[in-house]
């Protein structure tokens, strides 16, 4: 997972068709609360891609593997074995469930059937870049704990095909044992993709691969509003932006600037993340947004549902919420901030406050709020763009 190639990071989580974070059938708002509770159980990311233009179909994993993220199809090995991969724009470790894995699903990557499979030795430079490397044998191993998950893997290489692009010697962890609920996987993309990509996430309720992941400069929209990407060497896999204010309807709510302040030393600020389901704001910001929503609802009875604290049994009277970034405003319609129950008339504000006062002062613009928008990441020009694009 060469660090020199990490010009941008696009995380992917490899799933088998029988594997996933199962969410029992329930109504949309209750299921949304369940998805929210799993937001912290995700790690992931991409490491070493090459090509100039590629458009990869993208789908909501909800209908396919009962998982709250978004997936693309990839082929790994020779002959190719098809796996589903969850798209995530934040972390940086690459793991794939391999045949014989203890705790993995029955559908895995079988390295013995691939003529291009290659284990990496302890002396390989990539071995020093994985978490907790171990060299008890000839091959490089590593282990990692994340939330309630633990993974033991060996470091290997094989070919991978994403859309029409074939990438040779893709480096990843071949998982031998796992406990918990997540399998991460990594790649980064420089080379002919020039560290530029974009994606459009369809509605989480959509069926089929109607969204798209666009790789390389030739695939990107010509007209799109952008804001500056902020650099944080300590958290280089996060896409930081300068969030300046939030408007509910036509009113800019009263939020102290400190709630949005970017600090590369502590990691505070605002990031875009496709792997988190619901936007979370530091408490002063969330409270201001929530209180304005409640004010507009007047005397309507407010209730809570799971992790959502602002729910109503009548239609919510807030037409838009606008995130105001430096040089760019993103105005969200109700479908991007209201989650509705399919079994009742309950609707909830689909955002949350950071739970603990002492945790990192980080605002996360998450996938529910990104649905049906084209999100552009342009690392060479330090830009992040957003444009409305129905793709459900």
Q: What is the pLDDT of residues 152-188, one digit of tens each?
A: 888 999 998 887 778 888 888 888 888 754 443 333 3
* 88 given a catalytic annotation: yes
Catalytic residue among 88, 92, 158, 378: 88
d(CA 110, CA 202): 31
* 378 given a catalytic annotation: no
Beta strands 133-134; 118-119: pairing state? unpaired
The SS3 call for residue 299 is coil
Residue 256 CB partners (closer than 8 Å, separation 6+) = 284
Helices (H), the chain: 28-37, 62-65, 283-296, 367-370
- Flag whether the pTM goes above 0.85: no
CA 328 to chain centre: 22
d(CA 317, CA 296): 7
Spatial CA neighbour of 6 closest among 126, 97, 156, 95:
126
Q: Which two tokens stand for residue 346?
A: 């309950």
| Torsion of the alpha carbons at 359, 363, 368 and 369, rounded to the nearest 10 | 170
d(CA 380, CA 392): 30
Q: Which two tokens stand for residue 166?
A: 């074939």
Check residue 25 and give its pLDDT: 32
Phi, psi at residue 284, to the nearest 5°? Answer: -60, -35
- Regions of the chain with pLDDT less than 50: 1-26, 31, 33-52, 181-192
Check residue 158 and give its pLDDT: 94
d(CA 387, CA 63): 26
């Amino acid at each position: 997972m060469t660090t020199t190639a990490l010009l941008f990071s696009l995380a992917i989580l490899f799933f088998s068709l029988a594997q996933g974070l199962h969410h029992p059938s329930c109504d949309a708002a209750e299921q949304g609360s369940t998805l929210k509770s799993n937001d912290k159980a995700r790690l992931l990311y991409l490491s070493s891609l090459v090509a100039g233009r590629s458009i990869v179909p993208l789908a909501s994993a909800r209908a396919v593997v009962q998982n709250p993220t978004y997936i693309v199809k990839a082929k790994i090995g020779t002959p190719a074995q098809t796996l589903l991969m969850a798209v995530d724009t934040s972390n940086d470790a690459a793991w794939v469930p391999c045949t014989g894995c203890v705790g993995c699903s029955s559908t895995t990557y079988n390295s013995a059937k691939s003529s291009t499979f290659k284990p990496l030795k302890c002396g390989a430079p990539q071995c020093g870049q994985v978490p907790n490397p171990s060299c008890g044998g000839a091959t490089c191993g590593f282990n990692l704990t994340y939330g309630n998950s633990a993974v033991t893997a060996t470091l290997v290489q094989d070919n991978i095909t994403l859309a029409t692009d074939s990438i040779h010697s893709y480096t990843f962890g071949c998982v031998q044992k796992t406990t918990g609920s997540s399998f991460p996987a990594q790649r980064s993309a420089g080379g002919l993709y020039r560290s530029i990509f974009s994606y459009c996430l369809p509605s989480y309720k959509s069926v089929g691969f109607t969204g798209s992941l666009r790789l390389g400069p030739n695939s990107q929209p010509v007209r799109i509003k952008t804001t500056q990407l902020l650099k944080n060497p300590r958290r280089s896999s996060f896409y930081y932006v300068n969030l300046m204010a939030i408007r509910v309807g036509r009113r800019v709510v009263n939020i102290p600037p400190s709630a949005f302040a970017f600090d590369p030393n502590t990691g505070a600020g605002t990031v875009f993340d496709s792997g988190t389901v619901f936007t979370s704001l530091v408490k002063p910001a969330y409270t201001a947004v929530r209180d304005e929503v409640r004010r507009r609802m007047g005397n309507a009875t407010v209730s809570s549902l799971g992790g959502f604290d602002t729910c109503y049994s009548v239609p919510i009277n807030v037409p838009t919420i606008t995130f105001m970034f430096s040089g760019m405003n993103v105005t969200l319609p109700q479908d991007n901030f209201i989650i509705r129950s399919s079994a009742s008339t309950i609707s909830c504000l689909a955002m949350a406050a950071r739970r603990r006062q002492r945790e990192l002062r980080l605002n996360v613009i998450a996938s529910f709020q990104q649905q049906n928008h084209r999100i552009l990441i342009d690392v060479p020009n330090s830009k992040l763009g957003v444009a409305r694009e129905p793709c459900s």
